[in-house]
Structure formats: structure tokens, C-alpha cells
């Protein structure tokens, strides 16, 4: 019997895919979103179901309120929301802020921060014991860029992830008495395709551990945070960044 619905945005590749696979292995029905690559999402769903798990994929631009409403309507059709992991995030271009246009900045803010706010709001509406829910866990994926600033790379991305850290702290306090734990996970350089080709190789020797992390290492922390072993952990962000 399923433990409930485990929603992971951006679940068709990288960190999101690792989380989706691990959640399914733990007995959740995984609902994963994808922005545009339906084939990649279908491959994740197929891998999960072939291993005996339950998974559903839905296309959603989480920076669009109408898409968020459609996403949570699907959650309600599938069952009871137990976990929501907001993993959706985009960088946009790479370079100094002075070179970026309004459209790039707006899109990054919409997907990375506004989407986290609206998805968290909808998750609380379904999980809150004050509102008749069973409680649950919200995990917000941040980035070490929030603490480093990412100058001359993508300070706008870092700024949105700083907002994620504030959301984690504030919402964690706000719903602590409503059966909901809110935590963040802040990855450092992880081997995913969010990085430009060659970037990880160029910075590897400067990293404290002399290597980048893996999606599985991030997922392991996420999965810890949704267990009873983390029952008194809320409102905090855990760095998975190899001492960076």
C-alpha cells in the first residue's frame, strides 16, 4: 500500500530523478513534473514501474500559476499528499547581471522562487492538520550559490535561492504546529546538466573534496528528512556541498 503521494518537481533528470526513484523505492506513489522533455519523464516512470513502484508524470511549468493549479488537481486525483519536494530550478544565461534582460530575470524568479511559494502554499493547504490534513513534509531544494553569490555567473539565480532559504526558515516556523515539517537541502556542485560543458572539470581541483557530488548524495539527505528519524528537524537547510 502506498505511503501517499510524493510530489517532486523537475523529476525527470538529475537530482529530481534520483529523488523520484528513491521515493518510489520507499513505497510512495511518485508524481513527478517535467518542463518539456516528456521522453525523459516517461523513462523515469517506466524505470520506477518496472521495479514495482508507482509513478505518474505531468507536464508543468511551475512558474505559471495555472500550471500549478492543474498540478495540484492531479495530486488530489491520485490521493493524499505526503511529501512535496520543490526541485524545479533554472539558471538562465551565464554572465554578469548587467548583461541580462528583463525576460531572463523574470523567468528565473518565476520558476525558482514564485513557483516554490505557490507550490508550498498548495502543499500546506492539503497537509495542514489545522485545515483537516494529515501533516506532511516539504523539502525545498536550494543551492550553495545562495551563500556564495555566484558573481559573474548568475547572481539572479543565487538571489532566488537565497529566497528559498528564507522561505524554508519562515514557513517552517509558520506551520510547525500544523503537522508539517519544512526543510531545505542546499547542494554544491553536483554532476547534472545544469552546468555548462566543462565547468565542473575546471573547478574540480578548487573544491575541498576535489570532486563534485552526485544526485544520489543529495537524494539521500532528502529521503532522511522525510523519515521519522528527522521528526524534530524543521526550518533548517542542510548543505550537501562537500565543505564548499
- As annotated, the active-site residues are 157
What is the separation of C-alpha 74 from the centre of its chain, rounded to a whole number of angstroms?
A: 18
C-alpha cell at 44: 523515469
Q: CA 12 → CA 34, 49, 91, 159, 178, distances in Å?
A: 6, 14, 17, 25, 31
SS3 163: helix
C-alpha cell at 185: 537541502
Go through 77-88 and write b for each residue having 16 or more CB atoms within 10 A of its CB, e for each that does not. ebebbbbbbbbb
159 strand-pairing partners:
none
140 strand-pairing partners:
86, 184
What element of type H or E holds 168? helix 155-174
Distance between CA atoms of residues 166 and 160, nearest Å: 10
Amino acid at each position: 500500500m502506498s505511503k501517499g503521494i510524493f510530489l517532486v518537481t523537475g523529476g525527470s533528470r538529475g537530482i529530481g530523478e534520483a529523488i523520484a526513484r528513491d521515493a518510489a523505492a520507499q513505497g510512495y506513489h511518485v508524481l513527478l513534473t517535467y518542463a518539456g522533455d516528456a521522453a525523459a519523464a516517461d523513462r523515469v516512470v517506466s524505470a520506477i514501474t518496472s521495479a514495482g513502484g508507482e509513478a505518474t508524470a505531468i507536464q508543468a511549468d511551475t512558474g505559471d500559476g495555472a500550471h500549478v493549479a492543474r498540478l495540484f488537481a492531479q495530486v488530489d486525483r491520485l490521493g493524499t499528499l505526503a511529501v512535496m519536494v520543490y526541485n524545479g530550478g533554472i539558471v538562465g544565461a551565464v554572465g554578469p547581471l548587467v548583461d541580462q534582460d528583463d525576460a531572463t530575470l523574470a523567468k528565473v524568479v518565476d520558476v525558482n522562487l514564485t513557483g516554490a511559494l505557490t507550490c508550498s502554499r498548495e502543499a500546506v493547504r492539503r497537509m495542514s492538520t489545522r485545515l483537516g490534513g494529515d501533516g506532511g513534509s516539504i523539502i525545498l531544494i536550494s543551492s550553495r550559490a545562495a551563500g556564495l553569490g555566484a558573481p559573474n555567473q548568475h547572481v539572479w539565480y543565487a538571489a532566488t535561492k537565497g529566497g528559498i532559504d528564507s522561505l524554508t526558515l519562515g514557513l517552517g516556523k509558520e506551520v510547525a504546529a500544523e503537522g508539517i515539517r519544512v526543510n531545505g537541502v542546499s547542494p554544491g556542485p553536483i554532476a547534472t546538466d545544469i552546468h555548462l560543458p566543462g565547468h565542473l572539470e575546471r573547478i574540480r581541483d578548487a573544491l575541498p573534496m576535489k570532486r563534485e557530488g552526485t544526485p544520489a548524495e543529495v537524494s539521500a539527505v532528502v529521503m532522511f528528512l522525510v523519515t521519522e528519524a528527522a521528526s524534530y528537524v524543521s526550518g533548517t537547510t542542510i548543505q550537501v556541498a562537500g565543505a564548499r
